[in-house]
Homo-oligomer: A and B are copies of this chain.
Amino acid sequence: MGEDDVPNYFAVFNEIGIIAQLARAAMEDQLPDGMILPHFSVLNHLIRVRDGQTPLVLARAFQVPKTSMTHTLAGLGRRGLIEMRANPSDARSKCVWITVAGRRLRNQAIADLVEAFEPVATRFSKERAEAMLPELRALRKIMDAARD
């Protein structure tokens, strides 16, 4: 790979970076004041995958340092959106459970997001979105694997 090839990849990563930033901002606009993407992502994960997982498992799932997860969970706890209970099978550890309020907030956020994305969805069809997915997934997997 010669120096000349950089711009190609750079351009892709640049566009991807901007889209990620815009999507994040749009998402956070739908969340209550002070809540940010990681808060929502964790709530979503607890529903889509399962709750009762430990903080460390969550940190790995999101590929963030465990100290960051501690902080994110503290924020969710303060807002009454999750509960942390002792892990019955390991006294060092805890289990994270989503509360009724957490579940409700996540569902409302998704509903609001659908609304907010309307203008984009009418201009960029779901078929086009779907068509992009395989290559995005392929690139993500390759980059993930290269992360030693």
Binding site for B on A (CB under 8 A): 1, 3, 5-6, 8-9, 11-13, 15-26, 63, 110-111, 113-114, 117-124, 126, 128-133, 135-140, 142-144, 146-147
Contacts and interface: CB of A to CB of B under 8 A. Distances in A.
Interface centre among A15, A63, A123 (most CB of B within 10 A): A15
21 contacts: A1-B117, A3-B111, A6-B110, A6-B113, A9-B121, A9-B129, A11-B133, A12-B129, A12-B133, A13-B20, A15-B133, A17-B24, A18-B144, A20-B20, A20-B21, A23-B143, A119-B146, A120-B142, A128-B138, A132-B132, A132-B139
Contacts of A131: 135
Nearest to A114: B6
Copies of the polypeptide in the assembly: 2
A49 B142 CA distance: 31
A126 B8 CA distance: 6
Nearest to A9: B129
Given A22-B147, A142-B124, A143-B23, A118 B1 contact: yes
A139 to B, nearest CB: 6
